[in-house]
């Protein structure tokens, strides 16, 4: 999301703070927004996460959300918001190239779906690996792989429980393909859904 659209989104959330009866949903929405764009460990995100909206009046919570969002808006307008680093963008571009190759294979006649499934899985693993490294998250005793990277990112609150479940499902499909279990990956539409899901996942966090 570019700076202009980001500010527009912030303004829409700020406007919502004036609407009565929306404070609980707005708090959750603002927390998710700041987690994605300011960062889960940022002061903006932490300030809202530490506020329990059920313990304070609706007016107080609304004003607090508005204050945090306004501060983030000023941060963005001041040119302090960098978004994705050039290095990370280059890494994502490489992964995107692999996913395009997978799409080409899916569109080709006579190509078993296992081939694009392996490529999609490898691209996703590279995406998650570089993400954890950019966040300085260690593997610990875990063996490198999709499941390990997904678990680390989930523990760091960088992805949701549903994201984790999706990645586990995609990892299973990739493993079937990698081990030659052809009957498990002979449905091209299933692999196409995997590719669509991975693309959506990437856009969700790095658009």
CA-angle at 115, arms to 110 and 119, nearest 5°: 140
Summary count for the chain: helices (H), strands (E): 9, 0
Assessment of whether the complete model's pTM goes beyond 0.85: no
How far is it, in rounded angstroms, from Cα 142 to Cα 190? 29
Mean pLDDT (the chain) is: 88
Write the CA distances from 153 to 13, 146, 176, integer angstroms.
Answer: 27, 11, 24
pLDDT (tens digit per residue) in 68-87: 999 999 988 887 665 555 56
Spelled out in words, what is the top-level CATH class assigned to the domain 86-205? mainly alpha
pLDDT (tens digit per residue) in 33-54: 888 788 777 789 889 999 999 9
Residue 84 has a pLDDT of: 54
Residue 207 has a pLDDT of: 55
Do residues 71 and 12 touch, judged by C-beta distance below 8 A? no
Domain boundaries, the chain: 3-77, 86-205
Do residues 195 and 116 touch, judged by C-beta distance below 8 A? yes
Number of neighbouring beta carbons within 10 Å of residue 176: 19
Q: Which of 55-59, 77-81, 146-150, 190-194 has the lowest mean pLDDT?
A: 77-81
Do residues 10 and 73 touch, judged by C-beta distance below 8 A? yes
pLDDT (tens digit per residue) in 115-171: 999 999 999 999 999 889 878 888 888 899 999 999 999 998 889 999 999 999 999
């Amino acid at each position: 999301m570019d700076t202009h659209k980001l500010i527009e989104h912030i303004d829409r959330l700020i406007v919502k703070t004036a609407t009565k009866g929306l404070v609980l949903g707005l708090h959750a929405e603002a927390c998710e927004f700041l987690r994605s764009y300011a960062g889960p460990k940022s002061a903006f995100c932490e300030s809202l996460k530490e506020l329990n909206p059920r313990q304070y009046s609706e007016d107080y919570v609304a004003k607090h959300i508005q204050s945090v969002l306004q501060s983030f808006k000023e941060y963005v307008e001041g040119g302090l918001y960098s978004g994705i680093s050039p290095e990370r963008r280059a890494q994502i571009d490489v992964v995107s190239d692999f996913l395009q190759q997978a799409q080409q294979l899916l569109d080709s006649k006579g190509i078993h779906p296992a081939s694009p499934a392996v490529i999609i899985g490898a691209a996703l693993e590279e995406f998650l690996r570089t993400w954890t490294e950019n966040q300085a998250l260690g593997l610990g005793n875990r063996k490198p792989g999709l499941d390990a990277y997904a678990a680390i990112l989930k523990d760091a609150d960088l992805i949701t429980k549903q994201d984790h479940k999706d990645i586990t499902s995609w990892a299973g499909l990739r493993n079937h393909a990698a081990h030659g279990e052809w009957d498990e990956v002979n449905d091209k539409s299933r692999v196409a859904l995997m590719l669509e899901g991975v693309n959506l996942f990437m856009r969700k966090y790095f658009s």
